[in-house]
Structure 1
Amino acid sequence: MTDERSSSDAEAGTEREVGDRTDDRSVSSSDESPDAEAASEDGLTIADFHDASQREGSPVLTAAAVARALEIPHEAASERLEDLASRGELERLSVSADPVVWYPTEFEDLTDRERVVVFPKRREIVVDRPDQFTRAQLSQFAHLADANGEQGYRYVVRPEDVWQTPHESFDDLARTMRQALGQRSEALEDWVESQWDRAHQFRLATHEDGYTVLEAQTAEIMGNVARQKLGEEHVHAPISETEDWVREGAEAAIKRVLYEAGYPVQDHRELESGEDLEIDLEASLRDYQQTWVDQFAEAGEGVFVGPPGSGKTVAAMGAMAHVGGETLILVPSRDLARQWSETILEYTSLEAHQIGQYHGGQKNVRPVTIATYQIAGMDRHRSLFDDREWGLVVFDECQHVPSDVYRRSTHLQSRHRLGLSASPIREDDRQKEIFTLVGPPIGTDWEALFEAGFVAEPELEIRYVPWGDEEQQNAYGSADGRERYRIAARNRGKVDEVRYLLSAHPGAKALVFVDYLEQGRDIAAALDVPFLSGETPHHERRRLLEEFRRDESDLLVVSRVGDEGIDLPTADLAIVASGLGGSRRQGTQRAGRTMRPAGGALVYVLATRGTREEEFARRQLQHLGRKGITVREQTVDAEN
C-alpha cells in the first residue's frame, strides 16, 4: 500500500504543479503546503486526495470514494478528511445525495483565471476558462472531448493526435505542450515521445526504378511488426533488412494494416501531380481557414473538420489553388456535384469549360472533375479516373469513406488527398479508417468558432411532446423493438407542435426534418408546403431550394435526403420532427443547418414523451453538447 501510494503521489504532485498558473506561466514552490509535507504516514495528505480524485475521475469526493480509492476503512477516511479540512486544505459541502462531499480549497479560487490540470495516467487535460492561445496550442496535440461553455474543457491525448501533429520534431511538439500546460508534465511528455517515435518507424518511398518501397527505421521493427502483419498481397519480397518491395496498388492497405498495429506510415512517395492547372482563389480566407490550408500544404494530405457553415468548401478551394494541379472531387450525390461546380465558378478563376461533372446525369472528365462516389467505384468507369494523373483528390462528406461502397474510390492514386467533414464519426467505430485512407484531421474546435462569431451557436431544445391520439399510444404499448421507435417517431401530436413552434417564430425561415415519408407528407399537407424527399425529381429539388435561398419561400419539409445528399440553404429555425434515433452524425448535420455568421439560430427536437425516443434524443445530442452547444429540455403541455 505504501509503495503504491508513493508512486501515485509523484503523479498527483505533477498535476498540482501544472494546475495553478500565474500570468508568467510559472508555479511557485511556496504553493506546496508545509502541513502536507509534515503529515505523518498514518495521516492523509492533499496529495493522497488528488490521487484518489484521479482514480475516481472526479475532483469532488465522498468519504466512501476516498476510502475505496485509497483502500482504507471508511471511518479512517472520514477522520483524515476532517483533519485536512482543519488545516484549510479541503472544504466540505453537505448535499442531498450523500451526507458530505469534499473538494480542495484551491477550487474556490478559480473564478476569474485560467486553470489547467493534467492527469498523466489517463492522458487527460482539464481546462477551466481557457484563453484562445491555450486552446490553439492544445488543438495541435490533443482532442477536445467535452466542452461546457467557458468552463470544463476536457482534452484527451490519443495516439492518433500525436501521430498527426504538424510539428517537424519532438522538441517542437514538447515546446508547444509546455506552452499550453504552463509547465512540463514529464510523465505525459514521455508517453507522447513514445508515440512520436512510433509515428516515424515506417515510410513509403519511391525507388529510383519507379516502384514503391516500404522502409523501416530498424531491422527489428521491420521483422517484428511489418513482416509479421503484411502478407504476399502487400509486398513482393524483401530488398534488404529494412526495405520491402511493395505490390502496386497495395499502398493504402499497408498504411491501414500498420496504422491498426499502432505504427502509422509516413507517405513520401514521389507521385505524379498531373498537368499544371492555374487556380486563383477569388475570396479571402478567414484566419482559421488559412491555418487549415497551411497545415494541409505542410502534410500534403488531411481532413478539414469543422461545423456546418465554417467554410470547409471554400478552404478546400484554397487547397486546390495551393496544389495547382488537376483535381478530382468526390461527392455523395449529383445535387452536390452541381453545387460544387457552381461554387467553384463563383469563388475561383476557373471557367465553365474547365469543370466537368461525372454521374448519372452527365459524364464529362475535365481538369477539375466532380464525380459521385458510386460512379468512381464502378469497374466500368474506374479506368477513366485511373488513367488521369490527379494532383488532388477531394473526398467530400468523407465520413462515408470506410463503407464498402465508398472505400473503392480511395484506391485512386494522387499526390495530395483532402477530406471534408463536419463530424467524422461513425456508429460502427471505423472513423480511424477515415484518417488512414484520406489523411490526418485538420480543424478548429467548434466552441472557438462560436466565440469568434464566425459560426452562430444554435439554441438547441429537446421538446417532449404528448401523444396526439390514443390509437397510436395503444399501438406503442403493444409493439416492441424498432416498431416502438417508429410509432413514437410518427406521433401525430408532433403536427400540432410544429404548428405551435412556427406560430411562435413568425417570419422565420424554417426547415422541418422527418425520417418517414408518410409523416413528411402528412406534415407538408397540414402546413400546405412542399415536401422535399428522395422521390422529388432533381429539377424540382433545384427549384424548391432556389426559392428558399432567394426568400421566395420560408418553409420546407425535408426527409433524410437533406442530411448530406444535398447542400441545404441555412435557416433561422430547424424543427426535427423525427430522426434522432439514427446517428450522432445526423444530429450534427441537422443542427448545422442553422449555423451561420448571424445570430438567432434555433433548433427544436421533438420526442414523444415517455417513450424510447426520449432516450435516443438525449443520447444523440450529447455529441453536440460536447462540442460546446447548449442543449435544453422542455416538457410540452397537452394544450400546446
Structure 2
Amino acid sequence: MVLDGEVSVPHFQWDERSGRKRALGFRYRDVVDYLRNSGIDFRDRVFDLVACPDLSLDSDMDLRSYQVEALESWFSNRRGVLVLPTGSGKTFIGLKAIERLNTSSFIVVPTLDLVDQWISKADKFNVEVGEFTGRKKDLCPITVSTYDSAYNSAGRLGNRFKFVVFDEVHHLPSEGYQHIAEFFASPYRLGLTATYEREDGRHEKLTELLGGKSYEIETDELAGDYLSKYSIERIKVDLTPEEKDRYEENVEVFRDYLKKTNIRMRGASDFKKVVMRSGNDPEAWKAVRSRNKARKIAYNSSSKLDELSNLLGRHKDDRVIVFTRYNELVYRISKRFLLPAITHKTNKSERKEILNRFRDGEYSGLVSSQVLDEGLDVPDANIGIILSGTGSSREYLQRLGRILRPSGKKARLYEIVSSGTGELRTSSRRRSSVN
C-alpha cells in the first residue's frame, strides 16, 4: 500500500526507493478501518482480484457442533487461528468459511499431497479450483498453493484474493514464510492447526499476522463422541550390555566437553551453542557426533524390536502404524516383520498403493518415519507404536491423531523407550502436551 500527501496513518513508513510512504499488505484492513473511522476521504486501489464471477458457492456439507462453534468464533472477527486435533475435520471448517464468504480465496498448505486433498474436497463447490505450485500456475477464484510457491510469489499474489487460509499454520511464523502473510492484503485470514505453539516461540507472531487464536478444543473433549476413545502406555526396555557400553562411552564424551567448556544443558538453545562451536572446534564436533551416536543407540535398541514383536502379536487383529525417527530402523522393521514401509524415499505412486491397501484391509499394518506425521490422508488405524521420535509435542499429537479416527475401536498409543537414557526425558517432554 502506498500513501500520498502528508496524512498521518498508522503502519506507514517512508520508503526511499519509491519516495512515498508504504505499508505491508497485511496492514490493509487496519488502515482502511482507521481511514473510515477518521472520516478521511480515500481511494482504495489495492486489489486486482482474480476474475471472480458470482460464485454462489453452495455445498451439502453439514458441520459437527464443535466445528460450528469454531467457525462462528472465527466469523466474529473474520481473522484468527482455529486449533483442533488431527482428524477433527479442520479442512471442512475452512471450506465452509469459503462458502459463507463467497469470495476469492487462496489456500496455503505445506505439501503437494495436501494440495491434492484440498482440491479434491473443494470439488463440492462445483467450480474450477486452481493450483499454484511447482507443477501448475493456474489462478482461479479458489486456488491452492504450497508455502514454498506462495512465498516465492507473495509479492505479486498478495492483492489477488480477499480471503487467505493457512493450513498447518504453525509453519507460517518461520522467518521466511511469515512474508506470505505480510505481503497478502487479504482482510479475511484463517489459520488451521492441531498444534499452535512452536518450540522457538515464534507462534506469537500469529497474533500480529492473523489475529491470534480464536478457538481451541482439545483431543479429550472430542474423544468418545467424534474421535476414538484412547489410552497411552509407555513401555521401558533395557539396552543390551553391548549397547549400554557404547551408549555410556558416547555420552561421556559429550559430558566431558560440557564440563570443560562450562556449558550447562538447560534447553535446546544450549545445545545449539555446542553445534555452532563444532564448525571450527574439533572437540565440539566430536562431542556433537558422540551425542548423536548415543541417541541413535537408544532409539534403535534391539530390545525395542523384541517388544515390538510382542505388541504386533497382541494386536494381530488390529490396524497398526509403527512410527520411528530413522529410515534405517524403518527398513529393519519392514524386513523383519513384513510390514510395508513409507519414508521420504517412497515415491508417490507406491505410497498411494500402500495406503490404499491399508485402507482396504489388505495390509493390517505399516511402518513409517516422520513422513506420516503431517500432510497425508492416512486411513483409519487404532494402534500406534512409537519406537523413536523427537521431543516435539506437535509430532506427538500428530501421531496420536493418526489413530483417533471414529472407527468404533478404542485406540491405543504405545511408546517404547530405552531405560537409563536421555530418551526418557525426550518422551516426557513430548507427552506433556496431552498429560
**TM-score band (shorter)?**
0.7 to 0.9
CA 1:621–1:474: 2 relative to 1, 3 Å: same
1:295 aligns with 2:78: no
What is aligned with 1:304?
Answer: 82
Per-residue Cα deviation, 1:525-562 (whole angstroms, up to 9, x for no partner): 11112211111112222222222223332211111111
Given that 2:197 and 2:203 are in contact with CA atoms closer than 8 Å, whether structure 1 keeps it comes out as: yes
2:134 aligned to which of 351, 354, 360: 360
Specify the SS of the correspondent of 1:524: helix
Paired residues of 1:334 and 1:361 also in contact (CA < 8 A): no
Equivalent runs, 1:258-297 vs 2, <5 Å: 268=33, 272=47, 275=52, 276-297=54-75
| Map of 2:211 onto structure 1 | 439
| Partner Cα separation in structure 2 for residue 532 and residue 308 of structure 1 | 20
Contact 2:229 2:411 in 1 (8 A): yes
Aligned twin of 2:416: 606
| Contact 2:81/2:193 (<8 A) preserved | yes
- 1:38-437 alignment, distance < 5 Å: 214=9, 232=14, 247-249=22-24, 251=26, 268=33, 272=47, 275=52, 276-345=54-123, 348-351=124-127, 354-378=128-152, 381-382=153-154, 385-386=157-158, 389-410=160-181, 411-437=183-209
Q: Deviations over 1:267-290 (max 9, x none)?
A: 837775763433213221112211
Q: Distance in 2 between matches of 1:398 and 1:465?
A: 36
SS of residue in 1 equivalent to 2:108: strand
* Cα distance per residue 1:575-621 (max 9 Å; x no partner): 11110x33111111111111223340111111111111011101210
Q: Deviations over 1:115-138 (max 9, x none)?
A: xxxxxxxxxxxxxxxxxxxxxxxx
Is contact 1:472–1:491 with CA below 8 Å preserved after alignment? yes
Unaligned 5+ segments in structure 2 are: 35-43, 252-290
Distance 2:433 2:203 in 1: 15
TM-score by length of 1: 0.55
Greater RCO structure (CA 8 Å; 6+ sep): 2
Q: Distance in 1 between matches of 2:24 and 2:6?
A: 11
Q: Label 1:403 to 1:355 Cα distance change in 2 as closer, same or farther (>3 A).
A: same
Distance 1:210 1:341 in 2: 44
CA RMSD of aligned residues (A): 3.0
- The secondary structure found in structure 1 opposite 2:379 is coil
**Matches of 2:33 and 2:296, distance apart in 1:** 50
8 Å Cα contact 2:382-2:410 kept in structure 1:
yes
What secondary structure does 1:279 align onto?
coil
Secondary structure of the corresponding residue to residue 312 of structure 2: helix
Q: Per the alignment, do residues 439 and 568 of structure 1 end up closer, same or farther by CA in structure 2, a change over 3 Å counting?
A: farther
2:85–2:401 Cα contact (<8 Å) kept: yes
Deviation at 1:318, TM superposition (A): 0.8
2:314 aligned to 504, 510, 520, which one? 504
TM-score (normalised: structure 2): 0.79
Report if the CA contact (8 A) 2:158-2:184 is conserved: yes
What amino acid is aligned across from residue 330 of structure 2 in structure 1? G
Using the alignment, how far apart are the partners of 2:429 and 2:31 within structure 1? 37
**Cα distance 1:434–1:569, how it changes in 2: closer, same or farther (>3 A)?**
farther
Which letter does structure 1 place at the counterpart of 2:200? D
Instruction: Quote how far apart the aligned CAs of 1:246 are.
Output: 5.8
For residues 457 and 249 of structure 1, what CA distance do their matches in structure 2 show?
46
2: distance between equivalents of 1:590 and 1:583?
Answer: 11
Structure 2 SS opposite 1:377: helix
Task: Give the C-alpha shift of residue 295 in structure 1.
Answer: 2.1
- SS in structure 1 of the partner of residue 137 of structure 2: coil
Q: Distance in 2 between matches of 1:400 and 1:436?
A: 15
2: CA distance, partners of 1:497 / 1:566 = 28
**Structure possessing the higher radius of gyration over alpha carbons:** 1
Q: Aligned AA for 1:356?
A: G
SS in 1 for 2:76: helix
Query: Which amino acid is the alignment partner of residue 413 of structure 1?
Result: A
Contact 1:304–1:419, Cα closer than 8 Å, also in 2: yes
Distance 2:164 2:384 in 1: 33
CA distance in 2, matches of 1:298, 1:522: 52
- Change in Cα spacing, 1:323 to 1:479, as seen in structure 2 (3 Å) is same
Q: Which amino acid aligns with 1:374?
A: D
Q: Does 1:555 align with 2:369?
A: no
Which SS does the other structure have where 1:623 is aligned? coil
1:522 aligns with 2:297: no
Q: What amino acid sits opposite 1:404 in the alignment?
A: E
Deviation at 1:315, TM superposition (A): 0.8
One-letter code aligned to 1:423: T
With over 3 angstroms needed to count, the CA separation of the structure-2 counterparts of 1:570 and 1:555, relative to structure 1, is same
Gaps of 5+ in 1: 1-204, 216-225, 238-244, 256-264, 626-640
Q: Distance in 1 between matches of 2:393 and 2:7?
A: 39
Give the C-alpha shift of residue 251 in structure 1: 4.5
Report what 1:537 is aligned to.
347
* 1:474 shift after superposition: 1.8
Q: Output the amino acid matched with 1:429.
A: G
Could you report, residue by residue, the CA deviation over 1:56-81 in whole angstroms, capped at 9, with x for unpaired residues? Answer: xxxxxxxxxxxxxxxxxxxxxxxxxx
Q: How does 1:557-636 map to 2 (within 5 A)?
A: 557-579=367-389, 581-597=390-406, 598-625=408-435
Q: Deviations over 1:88-122 (max 9, x none)?
A: xxxxxxxxxxxxxxxxxxxxxxxxxxxxxxxxxxx
Q: Which amino acid aligns with 2:70?
A: W
Alpha-carbon separation, structure 1, partners of 2:158 and 2:203: 26
- Pair 1:211–1:251, CA change in 2 (3 A): farther
8 Å CA contact retained: 1:211, 1:246? no
Give me the whole-angstrom Cα distance separating, in 2, the residues matched to 1:211 and 1:554: 69
> Following the alignment from structure 1 to structure 2, what is the Cα–Cα distance between the partners of residues 211 and 516?
60
Whether the aligned pair in 2 keeps the contact of 1:524 and 1:530 (CA below 8 Å) is yes
Query: Which residue number in structure 1 is paired with residue 275 of structure 2?
Result: none
* 1:420 counterpart letter in structure 2: L
Taking the aligned partners of 1:426 and 1:311, their CA distance within structure 2 comes to 22
CA distance in 2, matches of 1:350, 1:596: 28
The Cα shift of 1:623 comes to 1.1
Distance 1:615 1:449, change over 3 A: same
One-letter amino acid of the counterpart of residue 407, structure 1:
Q
Q: Give a deviation string over 1:127-164, Cα, whole Å, max 9, x none.
A: xxxxxxxxxxxxxxxxxxxxxxxxxxxxxxxxxxxxxx
2:235 aligns to what?
463
Structure 1 residue identity aligned to 2:104: E
Tell me if the contact between 1:323 and 1:391 (Cα under 8 Å) persists in the aligned partners.
no
Q: 1:448 to 1:530 in 2, by over 3 A?
A: closer
Kept after mapping to 2: 8 A contact 1:324/1:391:
no
**Kept in 1: contact 2:237–2:303 (CA 8 A):** yes
What letter is aligned with 1:537?
N
- Residues 392, 435 of structure 1: CA spacing in aligned structure 2 closer, same or farther, 3 A cutoff? same
